[in-house]
Amino acid sequence: MIKKFRSLAKPLVIIICVTFIAGALYIGGMSFFGGNDASAAVATVNGRPISAYDLQNAYLQEVQYYQMIYGQLNNSMLEGIRYNAYEILVNNSLVEEELDNRKYKPAAADVDAEVAAMKEMYGQEVLDMYGYNDAALKQIASQQLAFQQLLNDIAGEIEISEQEIKQQYEQVRASHILVRVDGDDPELWEAAEARAEEILEMIQIMDFAEAARNYSDDGSAENGGDLGFFSRGQMVEPFEEAAFALDVGEVSGLVKSQFGYHIIKVTDKKTAEGDEFEAAKDEIREELVEEEKFRRFSEWLTERKNNAKIVVIDRQLAAYQALLNNEYEEAIKAYHEAIEENPANGFLYASIGQVYLQLDQTDKAIEAYEKALEHSANDGQLHLMLGSLYQDTEQNDKAIAAYLKASELSSGDIMTQLIVRSMLTELEAEEAVAAVDERIAALQEMYAQIEAEESTDTTEDIEPNEQEQNGEETE
């Protein structure tokens, strides 16, 4: 149990891909690079300040993006997103420094053409709405063109071979049967291999799709194991190598990956030949050039970052950075410094609780979460986490109370209700389970009502058209 919840407590680390396509680097360029007030800085990069204003601006943009993907974000996710926003600003600062050093000056005609392209893309009405006049657009266009020149200079000349183009074009359609293995226990892997061997024997006399539906542990089982077409780089390496080496209709032996054992059947191939391939070659070459360009730029930026003098002033950022680097004592120290600056922020105590979990100091983690709830008593996720810690330490009455509070505070969150119900069931707290069941039933009823109303609205939208058509037919 405690191992499971320790993994849940780990900070969310969202991998930042350094991509500056279509102006991503300079979104809101002037707000990102406009501030020079070091006294309000959260960090400095080679002496250049990153202001609290710029961090908040970048953070809010990131939050908006991840809310569209994940919906409600908990505190751990928000802290990770804030750190990601800081990392983006560090990268931007390093790029801006290089641009200043190189003193690129795009031609006026190129700037005008870029401004015209932006106006065509976004429309004058939208640009006016956000306050982008011609002067602002010219500044952004100049920055974009300068960055593109930097990107090209760093990448240098890129040659793409015919073989690379062919490999990029080729695709395979395959079905598979997976015998999944969860964990590193050698006995589990031996048992899975034995089961996979039995299935491999079965498909000598059994339809592959039927065998996949009956025996595969993958989500594709319901489709007879069909994965559709895929290109190189989309599957784990052992699977990819085996699939692309097979002929159409051929079945592999056992293929081992980190997920378990696969049996693969190739059902179709898209080969690099014919008129369609010839027509696509130039576009594929351009795509590969762009990919290689950004790969080289990313390497350059990583090297610059490793050699830069970066000073983190904001204590919460410093704490989170230490946590990511497994410097747990330093993280605790920095979080306490952050609390001194913002003593009413209960979530900082929750972050300290996460660090104590990494140190296997559950009692101190509980104390930290209890402290967090003194300041943020209405956060259901904090009660849920504290309940799990109580349960881990066999303080079952406290765990039940914390779970019920989490359920009460998250009455509109079906996922939290289901998690709480599962935990209470483990504790054999029948009365508490019944209370949560009532909330789940109420949510299900609400969802059904919303679905019925949406269905009614759709019917009302369709019926008039049908009536008009019927009327025309009658005439």
CATH of the domain at 142: 1.10.4030
* 130 & 32 share domain: yes
Q: Above 80 in pLDDT, residue 102?
A: yes
The pLDDT of residue 161 is 95
Indicate whether 300 belongs to any domain: no
Indicate whether 439 belongs to any domain: no
The pLDDT of residue 23 is 34
* 137 & 176 share domain: no
* 175 & 57 share domain: no
CA pseudo-torsion sign 60, 65, 68, 73: negative
pLDDT cut 90: percent of the chain above it: 75
Distance between CA atoms of 170 and 362, rounded to whole angstroms? 52
Distance between CA atoms of 300 and 97, rounded to whole angstroms? 14
Indicate whether 206 belongs to any domain: yes
Indicate whether 418 belongs to any domain: no
* 97 & 192 share domain: no
| Residue where a domain terminates, one of 232, 252, 270 | 270
* 193 & 227 share domain: yes
pLDDT cut 70: percent of the chain above it: 88
* 8 & 118 share domain: yes
* 13 & 135 share domain: yes
| Residue where a domain terminates, one of 96, 131, 155 | 155
The pLDDT of residue 453 is 80
For residues 300 and 323, is the Cβ–Cβ distance under 8 A? no
Q: Above 70 in pLDDT, residue 271?
A: yes
Indicate whether 333 belongs to any domain: no
Q: Which has the higher per-residue pLDDT, 465 or 255?
A: 255
For residues 295 and 213, is the Cβ–Cβ distance under 8 A? no
pLDDT tens digits for range 373-425 = 999 999 999 999 999 999 999 999 999 999 999 999 998 888 899 999 999 99
The amino acid at residue 248 is V
Burial of 369 (0-12, 13-18, 19+ CB in 10 A): buried
Q: Above 70 in pLDDT, residue 99?
A: yes
Q: Above 50 in pLDDT, residue 24?
A: no
CATH of the domain at 181: 3.10.50.40
* 141 & 182 share domain: no
* 14 & 75 share domain: yes
The pLDDT of residue 411 is 87
Q: Above 80 in pLDDT, residue 61?
A: yes
Q: Above 70 in pLDDT, residue 133?
A: yes
**Six-digit token string for 52:** 């609290």
Indicate whether 464 belongs to any domain: no
Average pLDDT score, the chain: 87
The pLDDT of residue 40 is 83
Domain that holds residue 235: 171-270
Mean pLDDT of 324-340: 96
DSSP state of 27: T
| Residue where a domain terminates, one of 226, 246, 270 | 270
Mean pLDDT of 111-135: 90
* 259 & 133 share domain: no
Three-state secondary-structure class, residue 12: coil
* 148 & 35 share domain: yes
For residues 319 and 334, is the Cβ–Cβ distance under 8 A? yes
Instruction: Collect all residues with Cβ–Cβ distance below 8 Å to 111 and sequence separation of at least 6.
Output: 138, 141, 142, 145
The pLDDT of residue 429 is 94
Indicate whether 42 belongs to any domain: yes
* 23 & 125 share domain: yes
Q: How many domains does the chain have?
A: 2
Indicate whether 386 belongs to any domain: no
The pLDDT of residue 448 is 86
Distance between CA atoms of 251 and 129, rounded to whole angstroms? 59
The pLDDT of residue 28 is 35
Distance between CA atoms of 392 and 394, rounded to whole angstroms? 6
Mean pLDDT of 60-84: 89
